[in-house]
Each structure stands twice: as C-alpha cells, then as structure tokens.
Structure 1
Amino acid sequence: MEYGMFSYPVHGEARSLYQELVLVNRTLEQKVQELNRAQQRLMEYRKVFECTGDLIYVFDRDYRYLMANEAYLECRRSRFPDLIGRTLPEVIGEETFARIKPQIDACFAGNELSYEDSHHYADKGKRHLLVTFSPVFDGDRVERVACLIKDVSERKLLEEQLRQSQKMEAVGTLAGGIAHDFNNILTVIAGYASLIQINTEESETAAMAGEIMISVERAAEMTRSLLAFSRKQEVHLETVDLNQVVAELHKSLSRLISEEIELVVRVCGEELCCLADRGQLEQVLINLAVNARDAMPGGGVLDISTGVAEPEGEDLPAGRCAVITVSDNGTGMDKEVQERVFEPFFTTKEVGKGTGLGLSSSYGIIKKHNGAIRMQSAPGAGTSFSIYLPLSGERPCRERGDAEGRCGAGSGTVLLVEDEETVRNMTRLLLERHGYRVLTACNGQEALELFRQNLGSVQLLLSDVVMPRMNGRELCERVRQLAPGLPVIFMSGYPADVMSEKGIGGGGAYLQKPVKPEELLGALRQALIPAGGRLAPPG
C-alpha cells in the first residue's frame, strides 16, 4: 500500500516530464526543420548571388563591406577575407568614393536609385555600367546598402547601332527625295542640250552642248552612287557588263577615297556579261571601297580588277564566273575579326564612324545574285575581297537601246503627263522636234479627261509616276479600261524602292530619270512598233 501510495505520485511526475520532453523534442525538430529550410534558402540565395555576372556587394553605415559575390571579387582582384571589413574608400579609392557618396547617402535616407557610369578596365577597356543602390531596412532604419553593378556596354552598343541604322534610313529617304528633284533638273538640262545639238550641228555651240551632256551624265552617276550607298533596293535584274560597271564607277570611287590613296582599276579584255542589278552592284563596290579607305588611314593602294574564274567549293557558283577583286594594302584583319566581318552591325570602327552594315549588306546582295563573296586578310598585310557572279550568254540591253535611239524621226500622238512644268515643256519640245504630236497634262485627272476627248487618236501614254490626285499606275489602269493594250511608258526620278511602294509593279516600260533624249526617243519608237518588240516592264 505504502509502496503503491509512494509509487503513484512518482509515476505521475515521470509522465509529466515525459510529456514535456516530447513537446520539447517536437519543438526542437520543428526548429531544426526551420533551420534546415532557412539554410536551404540561404544556399539558394547564395547561388543566385554568385551565378550572375553582375557585381554585387553589401556595406553598412560605416561604409564597410559585409559581403560581396565572386564576380565583384574577381573584378577587384581580391579574396573574400581581404575585402570584408574594409571600407569603400580603401578599396575603390577616395576620389571615386567622393563622386558616388551623394548617391550612397541618399540610399541610406531610404531611397533606391540607379544611375549610369563608366569605368576603364585594364583588360576590357572602357565599359558602360548601370549602378543600382538598394536600401536594406532593419525596422524603420536603413542599416545596410546593397549595390548591383550591371555591365550595359552591349546594350549601349545596340542602341547606338539602332540610331545609326535609323540615321541611314533617314538619309535614304532624304536622298530619294533629293534624287527625284535633281533628276528632273538633269532631265531638263539634257533635253535642251540635245535640242541645241540638233539646231547647231557641226558648230562650236554643238560641241559645248556635248560637254553639257557629259556633265549631266557625271551628275547622274553621282546621284546613283548616293542612292546606292544610302538606301535599300529591290533586285531588278538585267544583263550588264561588269567591266563597264567598274569602269563607270571609277570617278565616283575617286571622290570617296582620300588623296593619299592611289586607285588602280584594271578590267580584263573579255566581255563579262552577268544577270544583275546594276545599282546594287555599285553599292557593293562602294561599300568595299569605303572599308578599304578606312583600313588605310595613312594612304595606300586600292586595286579593283575584273577577270574570269571557275571557282571550286560547295557554296561557290558552278561553272565559269566573272570575278571582281577589291584589294588594299591596309591594316588587315585577324582571324577573330574575319569570322564576324559579315555579321550585321559588327564593326571595329569607333562609335559614329561605322554602322557595321556595309559588308553584311554586300554579302546579302551578292547572295541574291546567286553569287559568292570571299575574303583574304592578315594583320599588316591588307585585305582582298573577291566577288563571284555567274556569267550570262546575253549581251547588255543598253547597247540595243542605244542603237534604237539613233533611229530617225518618229510619228504619232503622245499623251505626256508630267507635274513638273520645266520637264513637261522640255519633253514636249523634244518630241515635237522629232515628229510627234504631243498632248500635255499636269496631273492624272487632267490627263484622263484629255484622253477621253481624244479617244482613238492617242497612240501612247508617256507619264510620270508619282503625281498628286492620281498617280501614273492608276492613270494607266483607267486609260486601259478605255483603250486596252495602249502602249505606256513611265518616267520617274524616284529610286526603285519608292517606285515599288507606289505600286509600279507592271503595266508599262520604265525609264529612270535623268532620261537621255536618245534613250527616250528609242523607247517611244520601240513601244510604237505594231507587232511586239516592246520594252519589258520593270521588276
């Protein structure tokens, strides 16, 4: 009994202790689990902290480092034990610290802020940085500041490349408008010079008019070069002689390079006829010449030659090819640059001196022509680009056009539509002097009404394309509803890409201003041939 009386309270106390121990154990297990989870989260945060290439560090109100990630330590060429506990002025320097201290103090006041900065690294050169200071609160007080430094040099470069691309687009648009007006002026000058030659044959005045015609052609060449350099173009293929393309571009290239550079142009004796877009080939040669010029800042030799080859390679054209080689004896390129030289926006030039679009656009143009472009270069040994284009069995159509332009006087009634008064008056006078009856209109609406009044007598429509109220294509469609099959010739001073936007996809022959008088007269005679033989529509 006593034993039982004695043992009962002992048993009850033990049970109570046991229950307390169980509760304590459960609490400890929960704490251990929470600690493990906290450690796991800390490890995850640390991985995130370390896996980024951005520089991250944390410091307290005494500007002493509390932690830093591996990227920051590598940048500072330091180890963790050597950095922690030291102050910012000791590590980054008093001058740099004084420059960023106002931003740091603003962050300790509770504001998160970002600003752009730059730093010159010994191994990477100048880099653009985005610095962000974030406050770390302990209650209502900011006790620490976390700093994140992101290298935004690539983004800044892309932004600059985009701005350069937009500038080039704007230049192209501006050049198109200038070319339209300038080509109209040249058309008038060429037309009146031709009339002077007709009226004063075998005289000194006729010789002077001939010189005017030569100057007009040079001016037209400059306009084509400007457009080729500054704008996008659609491919309009025709048979061209590459020897002639290179030879005629000689003077334009001379203006692009400096006086310290000697330009050597050598064309082979064999005719090199290829199916190509003349304007785009000129653009390629201009791009290569500009790159060669920039590779020879102290002067040198730019050599352009043509020839024939049978290249071997999977990505090279098969059979006999025409070859244009553009070589310089400039600085050359290493293998790393050569591997990226045709990438869009890649450039080794300083910001503002190159867009990185010249070689990439040239590569794309040659590919569109079913050709190939190859490069050989070495540091200090210059660079050579070789362009391979398949040969064509046809002869340039320009020779046929010139022969047609030398024919005698024509006849028939032409409806001339031109919104530029000087061009309209000169063209009317030129056609009348060569036997044509000419009806004139200054816009599409007036021309349509005039055509209705003379239905059955008008034999050809000669029209500008871009006009107010009704453009040339719309006029052509309306006129052909009244007279199906009526011959139509379009003239315009706008470049090909603008013409495409205006819908000049077909329906008539196309003459690019400035139009030589003999070219215009030849086109009219060809279009008025009763049975076929008309000029092919553009595009």
Structure 2
Amino acid sequence: MVPGCDDQGMEYGMFTYPVQDDHRSLYQELVQVNRTLEQKVQELNRAQQRLMEYRKVFECTRDLIYVFDRDYRYVMANEAYRECRKSRFPDLIGRTLPEVVGEETFARIKPHIDACLAGSELSFEDSHDYLDKGMRDLLVTFSPVYDGDRVERVACLIKDVSERKLLEEQLRQSQKMEAIGTLAGGIAHDFNNILTVIAGYASLIQINGEESEAAAMAGEIVLSVERAAEMTRSLLAFSRKQEVHLDTVDLNLVVAELHKSLTRLISEEVELVVRVAGEELYCLVDRGQLEQVLINLAVNARDAMPRGGVLAISTGVAEPEGEGMPAGRCAVITVSDNGTGMETEVQERVFEPFFTTKDVGKGTGLGLSSSYGIIKKHNGTIRMQSEPGAGTSFSIYLPLSVERPAGERRDAEERPGAGSGTVLLVEDEETVRNMTRLLLERHGYRVLTACNGQEALELFRQDPGSVQLLLSDVIMPRMNGRELCEQVRQLAPGVPVIFMSGYPADVMSEKGICGGGAYLQKPVKPEELLGTLRQALST
C-alpha cells in the first residue's frame, strides 16, 4: 500500500486520482521531488536571509567598501563610501576610479590594484583630506574576487585608523616621558649627593670663619643649595617618584625669585614684566610644582611671540565667581602675552593631554594638561582668555591661607651644639662620606666609616658595644641599608639607626628597602643631621 491511498485511488494535495500498481513508483518519485523542492526553498530562504544580513553589514559599517571590475569601473559601493564621495548610487556605479578619485590618486594606487588583479591580496597605508573631517589616516585593503581561475573584480576595504594612530603616538609619547622621568629621577638622586657635600663644607666654613667674609659667602652657598634642592624635588615630582608636599609660601616671593630663571628661558626679543601685589599672598602649595606651572606658561607665551613681544606676570587678589572656581578670596597669578592668540577650536582643546599646535618634535602636548592637573590638586583653578592676533592670558586662582610660612629664613642660625659617642657611617659616595665624617668629628663625635654594608657589618662585629649609632645610606652595592640594619639589630637590638638617601622616603618604602630607623632625604642640612643625631642618641 502506498501511504495516503487505497486500492481505489491515491491522494495528492486536494485531489484523488485512480491508482494502478505501476503508478505507485511514479507517485513516490513525485513525493521525493516535492521534498527536494521544499528543501531547496528552505535553503534559498536561508541564503536570502544570510544575504540580507551581509547587506546590512555591508551598508551599516563605518568602513568604506566598494567593488570594481578589470576596467576599473565601479560595480558596487556601500553607503559609507557613497557618502564619502558625495555620490548617489546610480551616479557612482559604472563610472571609473580615475573619474571618482582623481587621476593623481588613481596613479598612486594603481600598482596595488594591478597586483591584486594578478591575484595578490594586499594592504597599505594611505591618507585622504576629507572636506568635513580633514586629513585622515587610512588602511586600504585590496582583495581579489575570482570567477573561475581568473580575477574579474577587486573588493576594496578602507578603514579609518586615525584614532588608532593617535593612540599609538600617545603611547610612544608616554613611554618616552616615562623614560625621561626615570632619567630625571636618577639625575636628581646623584645631584642630591653633590648638594649634600656642598652644603656640608659650606656649613664648616661658616663654623670656622664665624663672622668673616668667607663665612658670609658660605651662607650664600647654603642658600643656593636650598634653591637647587627645590629644583631636584621638582625633578623627582616630574618623574613621579615623589608625593606632593604642601607648604605655606608667599606667592609674591615665588614669582619674584623665578624672575631670573624665566629671563634665561625667553629670548631677547621678549620683554619680561613682573608685577607683584602690595600685600602678602600666603597659599598652601608645592613650590616646585607651582614653579613648573609658571615655567610652562612662560615657555608657551614665548613660543606665541616668534617676533618678540611682552610677557607679563602679575599677582593679586580676587573673589572669583562661577562654576568650578574656589570659594572666597583667592590669590591670582596672571601670565599674559601679546602674541598670536588662539582660535576657538584650539581653546576648546588646550588642556587636553598630548594636544599641541607646535610642529612635530617641538612640543609634547603635556605642558598645559599637567599644569591644569597640578592646579586642580592645589584646590585651585586655571582659566584662559585668548583672541586671535590679540594674545593670550592665563589666570591661576589659589585659595589664600591664614598661616604664615613655617620655614621663614632667619638672619642667623643657632650654632649646633657639640655631641659625643661613636657613629658608624656607611656611605658609598666617597665625597659624601668624607664630608659627613669631617662634620661629625668637628662636633665631637668619633666616626667609623665604611663604603658598603658588608664592610660596615664587619666593623660592627669587631666591637658591637662601642658603636652608639648607625648612620647609613640606603642604596649601596652588596648590601643595602635595610639589610644592614637587620643584621646590626640582631647583634645589638637597641642601637639607633638613621638612614640617608637622595630618593624620597615614599620611594624607598615602595621598594621595601627602608625601615627601622629615622629617614633624612639628601641634600641634608648639617643642622638637620646633627639635630636628628642628637635626638636619636638621647632616646
């Protein structure tokens, strides 16, 4: 029996037909053909569905896609490409590449096209100046489309990689700045050792000369050392190796003392005018970082006046209003120039990291962005006013402080008193070691010296009871200061320890090589070293 029929007939669709035995095979063939047609229809529907999906991707992607034949005539183009070329679909298809992209562009890319028509798939970088987006970096890929064994068409995919290239450049720039920061940190560390020697010998000259002219000159050397120490602290802060430390300072004094440094930075064609307020302007700031901001602004002003002009820096008091401004009375530092000024588009991006209008190799795009971040960390605000051809003005608003500077300079420092006891001095820098030994001996101490941790440990083991204090550098060959401290404490648990280093304490703490004693950052003032030493021996 055939399914769906009896001896009288068979059903097919809505009809019943008479059936004979020899017709049953024909019926089975028809059923099989029907099933095959249904499968083909389903496959066709699935193919149409996939085609619609491909079409959506083809039309919705932001990448530019087009196809052309061996005569360089457009066969297909997606909406992104048509919009880019400002052409409608009917107007583009059938036209040749030279007509659409221009003879010059076509001549440049034709070798790549011919290589693709020969069977190679290739990618290359190019650029295009768009009417609405300006110059953009592009990655162009040509893929051959075969008809049998012959390439009949070429599919082109154009991807805008401008943002990626910008990120790559920013990454390279940040890596370069990180390397510069590491170098700056190393320079600052070595320079601090030199300053320690200069300050120490200058202090000894003051002690020996008392009221002589040489002692007065040595006092000026000490003041210069303090100024240089501020510069090294700025270098360490730039290298991200030092936390920001806020102190109360007089902004008038900061601006006035920066005058000489700025004179050397700007060209002779630029006139520097500095005006400070008549009243004291005390603010809680990191002096080194604030000076960095002022130097950045001054250098930008100089570059904005290639033919010369006036760079004016002034201080004053204001009560700013508006969103993001500090509340109450603020100190104001204004840096202005009468240079080229900025267009509105540039003003909107001026504080963005890595944004610069300078030529390649002449600017990092970090000066104003870092200045903005520094002022924000000081709970202040920086504002800008500019007009093309009329110059630019930056105003820095910082909250005023009611406290006076704690470290105001005095005309005469108290002479450190004499001490007693044996100090084990460990320092790998010979000049620092010799100066420190001489300073301590002049103030009554017996000094044992070692150039590294192992040598110091051997000296200590010879007579542990004779050493009253360990004064050690931190970074040394063979054995660092922390390791030496641990070994010494095993032999004499109660011995006081003082560490000295050209690196800040937070860096030493992060590296895990400082601990168990007092910490002095080089350059160490002689009176600070002697005071810390006396305090450690008295406890």
Same fold (TM over 0.5): yes
CA displacement 1:21-46 (0-9 Å, x = unmatched): 99999888877766655444434323
**Structure 2 residue 258 is matched with structure 1 residue 252:** no
Q: Identify the residue that residue 421 of structure 1 maps to in structure 2.
A: 430
CA displacement 1:181-230 (0-9 Å, x = unmatched): 23323332343344445445666655665665566556555545555555
**Structure 2 residue 308 is matched with structure 1 residue 299:** yes
Q: Distance in 2 between matches of 1:157 and 1:259?
A: 36
Q: Pairwise mapping of residues 186-201 of structure 1 onto structure 2 (< 5 A)? A: 186-200=195-209
Question: TM-score, normalised to structure 2's length?
Answer: 0.80
Counterpart of 2:408, as a letter, is E
CA displacement 1:416-470 (0-9 Å, x = unmatched): 2211011111221123223333222222333344445565554544332222233
Q: Identify the residue that residue 139 of structure 1 maps to in structure 2.
A: 148
Q: Distance in 2 between matches of 1:188 and 1:148?
A: 66
Q: Identify the residue that residue 381 of structure 2 maps to in structure 1.
A: 373
Q: Equivalent residue of 1:126, what SS?
A: strand
CA displacement 1:351-388 (0-9 Å, x = unmatched): 4333333333333333333x022313233244443444
Q: Equivalent residue of 1:428, what SS?
A: helix
Residue 524 of structure 1 is aligned with which of 524, 530, 534? 530
Q: Identify the residue that residue 137 of structure 2 maps to in structure 1.
A: 128
**Structure 2 residue 399 is matched with structure 1 residue 361:** no
Q: Distance in 2 between matches of 1:454 and 1:148?
A: 81
Q: Distance in 1 between matches of 2:239 and 2:90?
A: 58
Q: Cα gap change, 1:87/1:27 in structure 2, threshold over 3 Å: closer, same or farther?
A: same
Q: Equivalent residue of 1:398, what SS?
A: coil
What residue ranges of structure 2 are gaps of 5+ in the alignment?
A: 1-15
Q: Distance in 2 between matches of 1:20 and 1:241?
A: 104
Q: Distance in 2 between matches of 1:291 and 1:99?
A: 40
Counterpart of 1:66, as a letter, is V
Q: Identify the residue that residue 9 of structure 2 maps to in structure 1.
A: none
Q: Pairwise mapping of residues 102-251 of structure 1 onto structure 2 (< 5 A)? A: 102-200=111-209, 216=225, 220=229, 223-229=232-238, 231=240, 233-251=242-260
8 Å CA contact retained: 2:248, 2:406: yes
Q: Which has the higher contact order (CA 8 A, sep 6+)?
A: 1
Q: Distance in 1 between matches of 2:191 and 2:480?
A: 20
Q: Distance in 1 between matches of 2:467 and 2:249?
A: 34
8 Å CA contact retained: 1:375, 1:383: no
8 Å CA contact retained: 1:460, 1:528: no
Q: Cα gap change, 1:452/1:267 in structure 2, threshold over 3 Å: closer, same or farther?
A: farther
Q: Distance in 1 between matches of 2:484 and 2:332?
A: 44
Question: TM-score, normalised to structure 1's length?
Answer: 0.80
What residue ranges of structure 1 are gaps of 5+ in the alignment?
A: 1-9, 535-539
**Structure 2 residue 58 is matched with structure 1 residue 58:** no
Please give the root-mean-square deviation of Cα atoms over the aligned residues, in Å: 4.0
Q: Distance in 1 between matches of 2:304 and 2:505?
A: 32
8 Å CA contact retained: 1:220, 1:514: yes
Q: Identify the residue that residue 4 of structure 1 maps to in structure 2.
A: none
Counterpart of 1:300, as a letter, is G
8 Å CA contact retained: 1:112, 1:133: yes
Counterpart of 1:82, as a letter, is D
8 Å CA contact retained: 1:241, 1:271: yes
8 Å CA contact retained: 1:114, 1:131: yes
Superposition deviation, residue 58 in structure 1: 0.5
Q: Cα gap change, 1:250/1:224 in structure 2, threshold over 3 Å: closer, same or farther?
A: farther
Q: Identify the residue that residue 465 of structure 1 maps to in structure 2.
A: 474
Q: Pairwise mapping of residues 371-410 of structure 1 onto structure 2 (< 5 A)? A: 371-380=379-388, 381-399=390-408, 405-410=413-418
8 Å CA contact retained: 1:287, 1:358: yes
8 Å CA contact retained: 1:222, 1:252: no
Q: Distance in 2 between matches of 1:356 and 1:45?
A: 43
Residue 440 of structure 1 is aligned with which of 445, 449, 454? 449
8 Å CA contact retained: 1:443, 1:468: yes
Q: Distance in 2 between matches of 1:526 and 1:232?
A: 24
Residue 290 of structure 2 is aligned with which of 255, 258, 281? 281
User: What is the aligned length?
Assistant: 518
Counterpart of 2:181, as a letter, is G
CA displacement 1:286-312 (0-9 Å, x = unmatched): 333333333434433333333444545
Q: Cα gap change, 1:491/1:336 in structure 2, threshold over 3 Å: closer, same or farther?
A: same
CA displacement 1:253-276 (0-9 Å, x = unmatched): 333333333333344344444444
Q: Distance in 1 between matches of 2:519 and 2:311?
A: 36
8 Å CA contact retained: 1:332, 1:377: no
